[in-house]
Structure 1
Amino acid sequence: MAAAAPHPDMQAILDARKTQGVPRFSSLSIDGARHLLAELWTSSEDPEPVGTVCDFTIEGPADGVPIRIYTPEGSAPFPILVYFHGGGWVMGSIDTDDSICRALVNAAECAVVSIGYRQPPEHPFPAPVEDCYAATKWIANNPRVAHGDSARIAIYGESAGGNLAAAVAQLARDRDGPILAHQVLVTPIVDHAFHSPSFDLDPEQVVITQADLKWVWNHYLENDLDGNNPYASPLRARSLHNLPPTTVITCGFDVLRDQGITYAERLEESDIEVIHRHYDDLIHGFIGMLDDPELRQARDAIAEIGRDLQGSFGV
């Protein structure tokens, strides 16, 4: 499940972070962690061109939910991909994931709607999930704002965003809609648990450690009992039947590796169409490195995800 060592390109990134003294998120305050992630995962100063980009706010379960809509060149209506950013729930934003959203627009030839959900600890579970589900439902009911097609809606999330995407897929099934064409789960957090072999990976070979994961969970949940809720821990759902076709991405050097693999296996056992790509020598967050022209792995993965989405969209 993991190569003997990370790919040399990935190891160079890990070594550079160590040399630069980049701290672990779990050693920082919330504000410090948010600032660090924004510094580490900044979007390109020369963003990939798309057709149009616009920001506005839609009605949410509590306050309004900020969204950013990206549309491709070409003729509408477009398929729609609803995007939930990563960052351990507490970090990240629409801005930090701008490059990924732009790349997905062009790879999948679809509109992308990025969701600025409420974040813990100010807004713990289930607030982020409810915002993401409400936004997905709102987009399905108002596809014209994205020049989109309500019959072709998919969802995407990485890490904590993958957790939110998996939860939204289950909510869409359990609450009678909207119907989803596909879900993309990139190195997702799917269980409030810390006991699989991937948690024993060498801390020098991973970006996120077990301590970091415990730190974000402690901010996300008001109590440990919430960790049993399948909308917090999608792997704990009694049934994974009747979910959309799914792409799952896992990496060898990622403490979340085993959770993602197990979720893909359970989906397959539930007769869900699953495309599981495992990169045994890559690290958590590698897709966010697509702005570096020397790191082709991220761009190649985006291209493959684009093909998966096009297959479900019927493009």
Structure 2
Amino acid sequence: MPLDPTYAMIRRYREVTGFTPLYKMSVAEARHADAETEAAAWDWHEHPEEVFDVDFTGPAGRQTVRVYRPRSDEPLPMVLYFNGGGFVVGSLSTSDSICRALSTMARCVVVSVGYRLAPENPFPAAVDDCFTAVKWAADHAAEFGADSRRIAVAGDSAGGNLAATMALMARDEKGPEISAQVLVYPPLHNDMDSKSMRENKDPMFFNVHSSAWFWNHYLANPADGDSPYASPLKAAEHGGLPAALILTAELCPVRDEGEAYANALSAAGVPVEHHDYPGLPHGFLAVAAKLQTSRDALALMAGYLRRRLGADPVNSTEDAVPATKERVPSGV
């Protein structure tokens, strides 16, 4: 399918203004450029009742989470959210509007997790930080009005990888119990030779070269990519994992990894919903201010979280569907 019209305009603008891909920059330059892009992209978001930062002791010292909470007199379900950025760029601010939207639309406490970045802190630093935060949030949920019995993990891009990894680690470590995972265009395999990886080379968007650049910074030793906590698709067993919602984009190099993960989970008996968005590249949630399809995707995520974290999430048959490569048109 051709490139979405909104993204076609973005592409033309980038061509005219001399856009430079992050993979052609130094790490410091990439972080600066990414921060500027995020600040410009989000001028639409929801407004939870409360947004505040909390510090606690992580593996490397002080670690920060940002808590988003809608008004409620009762404990609310909790979603641990992990921002994208290829494990190299990004921050709590990167996912601020996504977290605001999910908290308001899904009626849940969202805890956005800050973690150390590569290459200064390569794998497994981010994984260690994130799992420490998951355990800390489960233990302290009542302090910010959350219900530790109803927890989901979610993330976009590298954050989707980390969310999938948290689900694996929680299963392997016998807790905390995770009820659902929401993975948005996640990279799940460090060296997968896929059709989508070979096809997507457009320098105006996240592409095959972007993927390699981020993985090369994240993995100090390429052999670390064989760990299921770096590449969840390489896990020997996917059974016993929480129900999953996986969103992929047609014009994204990691699209096939998301589809393969949906199939692996489904084959292991895990309830899965997989939605592939035609005509869109990696990162499309970032243009929710301009693209209705992106807002629809956020609404889909919020609805899924409401169902899975509701009064009877385990026994809900509405979500127990096989993995599908569903084409989702705008407005659905």
1:117-136 residue pairs with structure 2 within 5 A?
Answer: 117-136=115-134
Amino acid in structure 1 at the alignment position of 2:54: F
Find 2:250's aligned residue among 237, 252, 260.
252
Amino acid in structure 1 at the alignment position of 2:270: I
1:1-315 residue pairs with structure 2 within 5 A?
Answer: 3=1, 5-42=2-39, 44=42, 48-204=46-202, 207-292=205-290, 295-314=291-310
The Cα offsets for residues 9-55 of structure 1, whole Å up to 9 and x where unpaired, read as 12222222222212111100111001111111116467532110111
The Cα of 1:194 is off from its aligned counterpart by 4.2
Amino acid in structure 1 at the alignment position of 2:295: R
Contact 1:82 1:112 in 2 (8 A): yes
Q: Gaps (5+ residues) in structure 1?
A: none
- Distance in 2 (CA, whole Å) between partners of 1:224 and 1:202 is 23
Runs of 4+ in 1 over 3 A off after TM superposition: 43-47
- Distance in 1 (CA, whole Å) between partners of 2:203 and 2:28 is 26
- The percent of aligned pairs where both chains have the same amino acid is 40
Which structure's relative contact order is higher, taking Cα pairs within 8 Å and 6+ residues apart? 1
Contact 2:42 2:287 in 1 (8 A): no
Contact 2:285 2:295 in 1 (8 A): yes
- Distance in 1 (CA, whole Å) between partners of 2:220 and 2:184 is 25
The Cα of 1:183 is off from its aligned counterpart by 0.4
Contact 1:194 1:210 in 2 (8 A): no
Amino acid in structure 2 at the alignment position of 1:128: A
2:51 counterpart SS class: strand
Q: Gaps (5+ residues) in structure 2?
A: 312-332
- Distance in 2 (CA, whole Å) between partners of 1:179 and 1:275 is 20
2:315 is aligned to none
CA RMSD of aligned residues (A): 1.4
The Cα of 1:290 is off from its aligned counterpart by 1.4
The Cα of 1:154 is off from its aligned counterpart by 0.4
TM, length-normalised to structure 2: 0.90
Amino acid in structure 2 at the alignment position of 1:242: G
Contact 1:6 1:205 in 2 (8 A): no
